[in-house]
Every structure is written in structure tokens, then in C-alpha cells.
Amino acid sequence: MQHKGKEQKNLVKKKEKVNNMTFENTTDIVEKTARQWLKDRGISLMDIADLVYFLQKRYHPDLKMETCLYNVEKVLAKREVQNAIITGIHLDTLAEKGQLEEPLLTMLRTDEGLYGVDEVLAFSIVNVYGSIGFTNYGYIDKMKPGILKKLNNKTSGRCHTFLDDIIGAIAAAASSRLAHQAKDAE
């Protein structure tokens, strides 16, 4: 009984915390959560920077990894990107645990080709630095270099239906940013 009372108190506390959330403090929580969940899913920012390097190397012969990484950081600082990350990763992990209803569960677990919502969510990231992001996204999605190849391995028992598109989209957006900045510097 005592245990139940404690649970009740915790629930009330939790509710109060949620009710007291303002835009400012959720902003911080959303960014921290997005970064942590990427890490938990085995993605390092270096993995994404590698993809940016892959996309931009031929246009910028002197391209440095630190420039790629810097642009990935800038993309990750955007709220719409963080929102897409936590939404997609959460759906992937729920699918992995079997905690979604059918027919959604099977569609996510099998990464069904006709589902398509994973790509639509990724477009909200691709868009943040203009339309050249779309070209980069299409290209990287087709080539699947580096970490994307790993995420696409269907035998791992993990569900990365959303994550592969999200990572490709972050790299595409970071590439667009890098390209725009290089153009501005000319």
C-alpha cells in the first residue's frame, strides 16, 4: 500500500513537471535527447561527418573532416531536426520491442517499401538548408556509403527503418550548408 502511495506521488510530480515545461526548457531537453538517442543507436557524429565528406569531397578538394563535423553540429542544433530524430528513433525502438499495433509493426520491422513515411519525416531535415539537400539525399540514399550500409543490414535484428533516412538526411543537409557557405566565401 505504501508502495502505491509513493507511485501516486511520483505520478503527480511527473505531471507537474510536464505542466510546468515551457518552450525554453523543452528546447534543451529535446536537443539533449536527440543527441543521446543517436548515441544509444550506435551513431557517432563522426559517422555522419564521414557521409558529408563522401558527398562533398569531389567539389572541395581541400575539404577537412573538421569542417564536415562542424556542419553536422549546425544541423543538429536545429529544433526541427531534433524533433525528426526523436520521433523516428522512438518508432524504430518501439517496433524493435514489438510495442506497436499491426499493421504498423510489421511494416516497420520489415522496412516495407510502400510505407514511405520514414522518407517523408526525413524530408523535414533535408529541407533546412534549401533544395540542394534533396539531390544530396537522393544520391546518398542510393549509394548507401559508410554507416548507412550498416544500418541497412536487415540481419542485425534491429529496426532502423526511420534511422537510416534520418542519418542520410542530416548528412545531406550538412552538405548543403557546407556548399552554400563555400559559395558565399567565393
Binding site for Mg ion (CB under 5 A): 118, 161, 164-165
Q: How far is the CB of 52 from Mg ion (least distance, A)?
A: 19
> Least separation, in Å, of the C-beta of 177 and Mg ion?
23
Task: Give least dist CB 84 to Mg ion, A.
Answer: 13
Q: Which is nearer to Mg ion, 31 or 92 (CB)?
A: 92
Task: Considering the complex, state which of residue 27 and residue 156 has its C-beta at the smaller distance from Mg ion.
Answer: 156
Name the minimum Å distance from CB 16 to Mg ion: 38
Name which of 52 and 163 has its Cβ closer to Mg ion. 163
Q: What angle do CA 136, 48, 143 make, to 5 degrees?
A: 45
Neighbours of 163 (CB within 10 A): 26
- 105 CB-contact burial (10 Å; exposed 0-12 / middle 13-18 / buried 19+): middle
| Main-chain dihedrals φ then ψ at residue 17, nearest 5 degrees | -60, -45
Nearer to Mg ion, 47 or 165 (CB): 165
Q: How far is the CB of 25 from Mg ion (least distance, A)?
A: 32
- Residue 54 or residue 137: which is nearer to Mg ion going by CB? 137
* Cβ partners under 8 Å of residue 127, min gap 6: 133, 173
CA dist 35 and 94 (Å) reads: 18
Cα 175 from Cα 133, distance rounded (Å): 7
Helix axes 117-126, 163-185, angle to 10 degrees: 20
